[in-house]
Structure 1
């Protein structure tokens, strides 16, 4: 029964890293997974695809779809109300929904070459709204349900971060992580790190484990599938943030090697 398992909600899970994290976590048989998507039909379709996805076998009996749009406070509240009515608690919240460019633009550094697309201010607003504000609102809205968690392994909050957020890397790297690249996107992830650390400090006295994962440059829709890393491998880091020991992950951005610097 779902009540015997950890109730885990993943935002932005109908594709990419969230999809593969759901698949991998489903096979542990420890979780009842709420696979979140802005479009409920896309969540339902993702679960159907999992049933025949030989590249990532899943126990889909432990997965159900849920509609949640992190850009819409009413949608977030409706998702929380649904979880409260059905389970009266949430054990794990994985904040994976994110974008790397605004709608209608080719990069995150201003309008397109022909002058079309949203202004730079609008692009910043779109990315911060999804990557930072949406994640923070989700934590705030679901926190009462997370506080109802009493199962071992519960009271977990895991953000999907990025090594591009690291200020020292941006300052010193001579390669693709040089600070001149991905200016807008990486600034949202730096802000997200501060949000994560703030919640980690606020909630640690209540037994929460709060962390962020760096999955690496994975080939997903986020980067038009130009990433060099298999998203299945990157998803393992999201799982690590959820299942890692407190001393290994709490208050840190982590990857497969361990804790990362700021």
Structure 2
């Protein structure tokens, strides 16, 4: 087990897009970064491109066996986790459907990846986070999950992010006595595989608030929803 005073962060879906930009930003602040992807090869390829202390791990947040295996690897190698950034998520099940036509299967798929996986990963890593003096959890949500941002044309995505915001509030309340802050944030419309090429924001702009919450924001800030480093309404 590696004992170090350097702060350590885990970024799910850190192999591309906003997750990759978050990893870059944390490395620039001298954090040790664990990046996860559903494929170990994808995580390794991203780790090779990043400059700094990067550890690639295979993790599918929709699979409890994958979560358990990743956690076993972490416990074998490290003494604690300071930051957990739940970035992994999906949008594609909403292609071609709306709230009146989407199937239960597609709703389940998105909820599992975007919300249930977050809760399961927090549960699995809780004892690891408790060993940190400044533990922080940041959930990548969306303005489409705010009550005034819901649309009928992205039903599973909107509902999953709405539920994620609710889970953020509940986790913040449950973990306040343990000194662990929990926040969600909206990166805006970002040029990624999910956001598309016409999106106005770069991955680096989308990653900024997550990096700030992980490194600079007051630890007393918890249970809030953020965009551009400002608290916004759920």
Q: Which runs of 5+ in 2 are unaligned?
A: none
Q: Helix, strand or coil for the counterpart of 2:80? A: coil
Is contact 1:100-1:108 (8 Å) kept?
no
- 1:245 to 2:225 alignment: no
- 1:206 to 2:189 alignment: no
**Cα distance in 2 for residues equivalent to 1:36 and 1:84:** 15
**Cα distance in 1 for residues equivalent to 2:136 and 2:80:** 12
2:146 to 148, 152, 166: 166
Aligned to 1:36: 36
- 1:106 to 2:91 alignment: no
Is contact 2:209-2:229 (8 Å) kept?
no
**Cα distance in 2 for residues equivalent to 1:128 and 1:223:** 19
Is contact 2:15-2:36 (8 Å) kept?
yes
Aligned in 2, Cα 1:33/1:13: closer, same or farther, shift over 3 Å? same
Q: Helix, strand or coil for the counterpart of 2:35? A: strand
- 1:234 to 2:214 alignment: no
- 1:147 to 2:127 alignment: no
Deviation at 1:228?
2.1
- CA-based RMSD of the aligned residues comes to 2.0
- 1:223 to 2:192 alignment: no
Is contact 2:32-2:53 (8 Å) kept?
yes
Q: Please give the per-residue CA displacement for 1:31-67, whole angstroms capped at 9, x wherever unaligned.
A: 11001111111111112233xxxxxxxxx23111111
Is contact 2:22-2:207 (8 Å) kept?
yes
Aligned in 2, Cα 1:225/1:123: closer, same or farther, shift over 3 Å? farther
- Please identify the structure whose Cα radius of gyration is greater: 1
- 1:63 to 2:54 alignment: yes
Aligned to 2:163: 191
- 1:27 to 2:28 alignment: yes
Q: Which runs of 5+ in 1 are unaligned?
A: 51-59, 113-118, 171-178
Is contact 1:2-1:32 (8 Å) kept?
no
**Cα distance in 2 for residues equivalent to 1:93 and 1:236:** 15
How many residues align structurally?
232
**Cα distance in 2 for residues equivalent to 1:65 and 1:257:** 28
Is contact 1:212-1:241 (8 Å) kept?
no
Please give the TM-score of this superposition, normalised by the length of structure 1: 0.83
Please give the TM-score of this superposition, normalised by the length of structure 2: 0.92
1:61-100 to structure 2, matched below 5 A, reads: 61-100=52-91
Is contact 2:99-2:154 (8 Å) kept?
no
Aligned to 1:115: none
